[in-house]
């Protein structure tokens, strides 16, 4: 075991401003946390599991461990769920969720239950258009959180991002925007966020929600933040959508002649062409033609 575990626990706990008493609640004594952090003792595997969960991460954050067969199975299931959602295979997702809900491995771990409920919520909305049930499932997933009110796990960030999207669909844009505001603050500093796609997705959805609220300046700012993240991390993920979102927002705000807006949309068009994303390519091309026609007819 890595004798730097205590130091890493203290570093993460201090970052989130969580006291030793808050971290230890329901897990062990505050004194044991103190001993672990000072290097006097090492936590048992069970205690380390609960500490890492409360801090919003997993045990791999503190040291590299060899996956057990059960961990490997859970990881493969989560990858299958992610892949199926990404390709909008919602019936397949619900089939996996139905099976794994009965699996003792998933029943024993709140984090795994959380993911199943989250995925079920997304499919419920897309397949059955049942917004109320989808929001209920999202809230059930969030109720399983084992972090404190001072920090979020990466999974909880993803779930809250989905909740903001669902709330915006139900016209609850004020609450949706409040969630996005918190997430945008957290992604600036979170030491757990290694995958830039999560932050990019939050920026994109946040920009769309701002437009629904009529906060166009905010929408532009969020889209630009997402574009900067894409360029910084050399990510094509959502870059075309963000260019389009930025161009559309700029046109809504004040770009009467459409020049700057069309330039941004042409950047989006270039990306969609090279990534062979025909539905978005056609959408953006139609919007560019629409703006161009309006410019021609303007006095």
Query: What are the pLDDT tens digits along the chain (299 aa)?
Result: 445 889 889 999 999 999 999 999 999 999 999 999 998 888 888 898 899 999 998 887 776 444 456 667 888 899 999 989 988 999 999 999 999 998 888 888 888 999 999 999 999 999 999 999 999 999 999 999 989 989 999 999 999 999 999 999 889 999 999 999 999 999 988 888 888 999 999 999 999 999 999 999 999 999 999 999 999 999 999 999 999 999 999 999 876 668 899 999 999 999 999 999 999 999 999 999 988 888 887 76
CA-based nearest residue to 108, from 142, 153, 147, 74: 74
pLDDT number for residue 1 = 43
pLDDT number for residue 70 = 62
The model carries a pTM of 0.83
pLDDT number for residue 3 = 57
DSSP string of 241-255, one letter each residue: HHHHHHHHHHHHHT-
Yes or no: say if 91 and 125 are a contact pair by the CB < 8 Å rule.
Answer: no
What one-character DSSP code corresponds to residue 67?
P
Count other Cβ atoms within 10 Å, centred on residue 47: 16
pLDDT number for residue 257 = 65
Yes or no: say if 225 and 241 are a contact pair by the CB < 8 Å rule.
Answer: no
pLDDT number for residue 68 = 52
> H helices of the chain, where?
5-15, 20-24, 30-38, 45-54, 69-86, 90-100, 104-107, 110-128, 131-143, 154-169, 173-189, 196-213, 216-232, 239-253, 259-274, 278-297
Contacts of 113 (CB under 8 A, 6+ apart): 106, 107, 141, 144
CA of 190: how far to CAs of 8, 11, 149, 202, in Å? 15, 12, 14, 14
pLDDT number for residue 42 = 87
């Amino acid at each position: 075991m890595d004798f730097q575990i205590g130091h890493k626990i203290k570093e993460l706990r201090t970052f989130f401003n969580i006291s030793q008493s808050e971290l230890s609640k329901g897990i062990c004594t505050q004194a044991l946390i103190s001993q672990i952090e000072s290097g006097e003792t090492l936590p048992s595997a069970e205690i380390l599991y609960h500490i890492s969960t409360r801090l919003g991460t997993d045990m791999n954050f503190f040291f590299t461990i060899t996956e057990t067969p059960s961990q490997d199975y859970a990881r493969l299931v989560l990858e299958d769920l992610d892949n199926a959602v990404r390709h909008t295979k919602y019936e397949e997702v619900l089939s996996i969720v139905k099976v794994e809900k009965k699996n003792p491995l998933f029943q024993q771990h709140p984090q795994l239950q959380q993911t199943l409920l989250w995925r079920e919520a997304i499919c419920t909305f897309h397949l059955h258009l049942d917004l109320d049930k989808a929001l209920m499932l999202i809230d059930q997933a969030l109720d399983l959180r084992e972090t404190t009110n001072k920090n979020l796990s990466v999974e909880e960030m993803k779930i809250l991002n989905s909740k903001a999207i669902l709330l915006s669909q139900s016209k609850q844009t004020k609450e949706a925007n409040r969630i996005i505001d918190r997430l945008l603050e957290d992604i600036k500093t979170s030491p757990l966020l290694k995958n830039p796609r999560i932050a990019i997705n939050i920026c994109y959805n946040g920009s769309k929600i701002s437009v629904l609220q009529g906060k166009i300046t905010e929408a532009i700012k969020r889209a630009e933040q997402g574009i900067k993240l894409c360029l910084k991390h050399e990510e094509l993920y959502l870059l075309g959508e963000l260019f389009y979102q930025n161009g559309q927002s700029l046109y809504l705000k004040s770009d009467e002649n459409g020049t700057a807006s069309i330039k941004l949309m042409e950047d989006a068009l270039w990306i969609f062409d090279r990534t062979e994303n025909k539905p978005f390519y056609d959408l953006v091309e139609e919007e560019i033609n629409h703006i161009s026609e309006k410019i021609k007819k303007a006095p």
